[in-house]
Amino acid sequence: MWARTLSAALQLSAATTGLPPPPVPPSQIVLGEDFVGAPAAGNQLHPKVQFQPRASLMHGDAGNTGSTDSAGPLGRDPDVKSALQILGVMLWGPGGTLSGGRADVSNILQPRIGLGAYNPVTLEVLAEWFPDDPNEYLNLGYMELRLEDNSLLVSSASGRLYVVQRTDGNNGTSLELTREVDIAGSLSPGETLLNNLFDTEGNIWFTTGTLTSTPLGPQSSATIGYVEPDGTVHTLHLPDQIIENGIALNGTTAYLVTGPLNGTTTTTGYVWAFTTDSSGGDGVRTVWRALYDAGTHQKPGALTRGGGATPALLGGDYVATTDNADGRINLLILHQEPREDPDDQVLCTVPLFGEGASSNDVRPTVHFDGERYGVVIQNGYAVPPMLTHAQFLLDVNGEWNNMTGMPGGIVRIDVIPGEGCEVRWESDVRIKSVPALSTKTGILYGYVQEEEFAVDGAYVWYFIAVD
């Protein structure tokens, strides 16, 4: 089932106006059918596994499952609407509230990046918050909303952690800074913050890192650590490894992937599990470390040098991620608990997609049906580069939209606890975006492009539903 979305020019909105934003004006002639396929019946799945503390993030939750218990559309009489609004990652809170990244470009020479509270229906800005320094580079991709108290957590590249309280009441909605922690002095030279997550003890976990697509520059080491509620900072430095993705967390244990330095041909990368250490050490204890094949180079279209997938947690049993092997990348399923023999940390590996044409920069989408885990991976090999600020100011319809050079493909692998992995199905669908699974409908949602028109420079996008 495909439903066509608007091809739109991104125009720049100013600060809060108190009015709903207008619709997005089309930027090109819209070709093709409005709807392809047939409405879905839906197949409700088991509710998603809840990780603690409960939170809303880009990848759904702190376990990065990519799933939601809310219902997605079934394709029955679809009604496509739009709103001309700059909105970063969308975080859904209690009662259906919507928070996200915010851009104030009323001064185009010095735009400000912050946080916004939005009307979930109209996308009207209800409240906004910006750091005092207009040059702060906030890591909006990995910000977090803690559901128990509606606290937003976001880090900056300069080394600050911000906690912003969202309050909704009879007098309206507000965003108020309640905590700011400067940990720049605890980082190694050249490192910038990337990740941040609350744990169940009120600690704020963080990592340094960067993506090759960002303007923050290369790094030669990584730092993992956490800040206690009283402000005590604990760190562990990882030389000759870098972090290029998000992290997963459940309770007080964090899981992450590191890879080799950009420009090197070493194939050494690691998957890690860390937790708090109350034994008088440095405060960060390595639970386990597992070696993976990081390949010899960054793949075409890839955002990362090493394994590209933010790790996803399979309940309390396993961790799912992908490597960057040169021929075919592999899905890696690892035990969350440490094994007596470190060589047994990996439950199974599964080769993915075609020889010499496989890559992945998106977390696995995972779900537990009560007996086995389903893991969906998409192929991002030769994906067009991310749209830059300078490009969309010129024309949103540039060649960077063209996905016809991608081999594409998505695959589902089933993980049988205590046994191993098996391929359930494969599809040739090309998905560039971060997909989402609705347990209410049993459907995986994403975006695809109509290849027939893309070869002629007309970029028609469809919202796709995959059973």
- What does the pLDDT look like over 402-424, one tens digit per residue? 899 999 999 999 999 999 999 99
Which of 63-102 are b and which e, b meaning 16 or more Cβ less than 10 Å from the residue's Cβ? Answer: bbbbbbeeebbbbeeeeeeebbbbbbbebbbeeebbbbbb
* 101 has a pLDDT exceeding 80: yes
Better pLDDT: 387 or 168: 168
Give dist(CA 259, CA 245) in Å, integer.
10
Q: What angle do CA 371, 375, 380 make, to 5 degrees?
A: 175
Residue with tokens 């490894």, as numbered in its chain = 241
Give dist(CA 342, CA 322) in Å, integer.
19
| The pLDDT value given to residue 387 | 64
Give dist(CA 208, CA 289) in Å, integer.
18
Q: Is the dihedral of CA 165, 200, 317, 44 positive or negative?
A: negative
149-173 tens-digit pLDDT:
999 999 999 999 999 999 999 999 9
Instruction: pLDDT band for 144, please (50, 70, 90 cuts).
Output: very high
- Give the distance from CA 131 to its chain's centroid: 23
| The pLDDT value given to residue 27 | 78
Give dist(CA 114, CA 132) in Å, integer.
10
Locate 226 and state its tokens.
């956490």
- Give the distance from CA 424 to its chain's centroid: 24
Give dist(CA 243, CA 262) in Å, integer.
11
* pTM above threshold 0.75: yes
Give burial (CB, 10 Å; 0-12/13-18/19+) of 25.
exposed
